[in-house]
Amino acid sequence: MRFYMFNKEEYDTIVSECKKSSKLSSALSDLRKDSLEELSVVSHEIKNYAAYLKTSYQFISHKNSELKDNKFWNNMGTTIDELVGYMNRTSLYRYSFKDSEMLECNVKELLERIKTYIGKKYSNEAHSEKLPLNTELINADEKTSFYISSHLLTLGINELIDNAYEACSNKPICLQIQCDNQLMHLSIINASDSEPDKSLLKDMIDAADKSGTPDIYSYDLSRLCTPFFTTKKSHSGLGLSSVYQMCILGGASLSMTYNSASHITTTCITLERS
């Protein structure tokens, strides 16, 4: 089975054609609604079965302590955990296609949300070296307001933060907010433990010169955001594709760059200011 996701240019073309034809708009809307409803029902049913299977496994393990040394039993537990994990990822992917409420938010509220999320997930000893979160405001302050979809605010940004923390094992990430004209750029900046696959780098933005300016490349989002594409064996390949879809439906844009000299990746979401 092949999965395809529209890029922003294709999506804008469809929107433009729908504005010209109310019949086309209505037909696509009905198709999208029916498909999402059917997918939602099936997804919830499978998740319920998987959750029941995991609970049953845990109950039997608790009742029969001798099973802890059984290789087959332990392998089955690992498989069940992976199944539940993949179901959670597909739920995120499904939500990325649903209509989302547009919210007016300010920088202070955004930073509080992000710091609360990081504090809950990364405050244990295993992640203590990654805290605190470094923040930088450029031509912006805590009162600067912007428009953002509820899905992107509550799910998408958290997904990008998780990606950043995973990429750098022992360094904090930086959150930069910069405004120009009517746009606000939310950048999540992190050092990488290893260099990315060169095939994932698309265009060179700035070339190194005699003054020592590093090579900065843009990532090929058409590959990175393809559903189920991943460079890591344990991943589902649905995180970035879900965020990309949330950005498209929420009127935002997503970009990623890599600095080959400092091994720093910058993931930027551009939003409209209110």
Tell me the three-class secondary structure of the chain, residue by residue: CCCCCCCHHHHHHHHHHHHHCHHHHHHHHHHHHHHHHHHHHHHHHHHHHHHHHHHHHHHHHHHCHHHHHCHHHHHHHHHHHHHHHHHHHHHHHHHCCCCCCEEEEEHHHHHHHHHHHHHHHHCCHHHHHHCCCEEEEECCCCCCEEEEEHHHHHHHHHHHHHHHHHHCCCCCCEEEEEEECCEEEEEEEEECCCCCCHHHEEEEEECCCCCCCCCEEEECHHHHCCCCCCCCCCCCCCHHHHHHHHHHHCCCEEEEEEECCCCEEEEEEEEEEC
Average pLDDT, the chain: 81
- In tens, the pLDDT along 39-58 reads 555 566 777 777 888 888 88
Q: Residue 37 — pLDDT band, cuts 50, 70, 90?
A: low
The answer for 212, left when phi > 0, alpha when psi is -120 to 50, beta otherwise, is: left
**Mean pLDDT calculated for residue range 102-130:** 81
Task: Dump strand ranges (E) for 100-247.
Answer: 102-106, 134-138, 145-149, 174-180, 183-191, 201-206, 216-219
Domains detected in the chain: 8-95 (no CATH), 102-272 (3.30.565.10)
pLDDT at 103: 93
Q: What does the pLDDT look like over 127-180, one tens digit per residue?
A: 555 556 788 999 999 999 999 999 889 889 999 998 888 887 677 789 999 999
Q: Could you tell me which residue, 15 or 184, shows the higher pLDDT? A: 184
* Percentage above 90 pLDDT, the chain: 23
Higher pLDDT, 74 or 5: 74
Pick 126 or 28 by higher pLDDT: 28
pLDDT at 185: 95
Q: If 0-12 CB within 10 Å is exposed, 13-18 middle and 19+ buried, where does residue 214 land?
A: middle
- pLDDT greater than 60 at residue 66: yes
Q: What is the maximum alpha-carbon separation in the chain? A: 69
The residue ranking higher by pLDDT, 189 or 235, is 189
User: Distance between CA 243 and CA 239 in Å, rounded?
Assistant: 6
User: Worst-scoring range by mean pLDDT, 192-196, 209-213, 229-233?
Assistant: 209-213
Is residue 273 helix, strand or coil? strand
The reply to whether the predicted model has a pTM over 0.95 is: no
User: What is the average per-residue pLDDT within 79-96?
Assistant: 76
pLDDT tens track for 204-219: 766 555 555 668 888 9
* pLDDT at site 1: 42
